Amino acid sequence: MLVHALDLREVSPQIGSAAFASTASPSPPPGPFEIMGSLIAYGRNEEIYGEGEAADFLYRVKSGCVRTCRVLKDGRRQIASFSLPGDVFGLTPGEEHTSSAEASVPSEVIAVKGSTLRIRAGVDPALAILLMGLAIAELQRTQDHALLLIKSAQERVATFLLDLAKREASNIEVRLPMSRQEIADYLGLTIETVSRTLTLLENTAAISLPTSRRVILCNRPSLSKMNV
């Protein structure tokens, strides 16, 4: 299963993205990120923080898509995760970030100072549980991504699409805010392999590709068989 930053809606019903709320439902009350944080806008490919920089803040995606990545010694980029609206990123066990975070598309994130969260968590058990959940999710993310990279190319792409569909609460359509190159860097494949695999899945009627940024899941059972 594709790993990603923890969606706060799974931890607290008061924290979530309006993109997943029914138009008939009232907007959820602001959560701790909205109350204590600052909203910052980033342009496409703009860096939010760099590898080795002090990990002073924790971030929640309000809109757009954020990638966390590292550049290897040979110049290749390795993407560890994609954070979508509602996801939190920037959690690290040390005092410095071990990867960089960049906006895949124009994005808005809410930044909260880590020390502020820790002080608040000391008197707010619900927030303390939330932060513990984030730490557990980060560990699970690392483990799941390692497992993903031992699968075949077709299995990796199928797993990626199914997980995005789950995160977007859609049974039929997946919208890709990231580029083919970003998908390749996440899956540990070349861009040619990703494109070839998507074409293969389309030719076997497992998916349809109306545009480069839209994927219709035509045969979920077939894709699920690859998600092993």
Q: How far apart are CA 18 and CA 115, in angstroms?
A: 27
Q: Are residues 96 and 114 in the same domain?
A: yes
| 98 pLDDT more than 70 | yes
Q: Are residues 13 and 120 in the same domain?
A: yes
Q: Are residues 170 and 126 in the same domain?
A: no
Q: How far apart are CA 165 and CA 81, in angstroms?
A: 16
Residue 1 belongs to some domain of the structure: no
Q: Are residues 33 and 140 in the same domain?
A: yes
DSSP 160-206: HHHHHHHHTT-SSEEE--S-HHHHHHHHT--HHHHHHHHHHHHHTTS
| 19 pLDDT more than 50 | no
> Which of 146, 170, 201 lies at the terminal end of a domain, its last residue?
146
Q: Are residues 127 and 28 in the same domain?
A: yes
Q: Are residues 181 and 104 in the same domain?
A: no
Range 40-68 average pLDDT: 96
Residue 87 belongs to some domain of the structure: yes
Q: Are residues 130 and 53 in the same domain?
A: yes
Least confident range from 84-88, 137-141, 219-223: namely 137-141
- The total number of structural domains that make up the chain: 2
3-state secondary structure of 16: coil
Q: Are residues 142 and 66 in the same domain?
A: yes
Predicted local distance difference test score (pLDDT) of residue 159? 92
CATH of the domain at 196: 1.10.10.10
Q: Are residues 126 and 201 in the same domain?
A: no
Q: Are residues 95 and 181 in the same domain?
A: no
Predicted local distance difference test score (pLDDT) of residue 48? 98
Predicted local distance difference test score (pLDDT) of residue 1? 38
Give the pLDDT band (50/70/90) at residue 46: very high
Give the pLDDT band (50/70/90) at residue 228: low
What strands, in cross-sheet order, belong to the sheet with 100-103?
Answer: 47-49, 100-103, 66-71, 77-83
Name the pTM for this structure.
Answer: 0.81
**Residue scoring higher pLDDT (182 or 76):** 182
* pLDDT tens-digit series, residues 153-175: 999 999 999 989 988 888 899 99
Residue 12 belongs to some domain of the structure: yes
Range 56-68 average pLDDT: 95
Residue 167 belongs to some domain of the structure: yes
Residue 3 belongs to some domain of the structure: no
Least confident range from 78-82, 168-172, 208-212, 220-224: namely 168-172
Predicted local distance difference test score (pLDDT) of residue 105? 97
Q: Are residues 41 and 115 in the same domain?
A: yes
| 27 pLDDT more than 60 | no
For the chain, the maximum distance between any two Cα atoms, rounded to a whole number of angstroms, is 56
Q: Which two tokens stand for residue 152?
A: 């075949």
Q: State the chain's mean pLDDT as an integer.
A: 85
Q: Which domain holds residue 132?
A: 8-146
Q: Are residues 72 and 157 in the same domain?
A: no
Predicted local distance difference test score (pLDDT) of residue 10? 40
Q: Cβ distance 11 to 87 under 8 Å?
A: no
Residue 2 belongs to some domain of the structure: no
Give the pLDDT band (50/70/90) at residue 126: confident
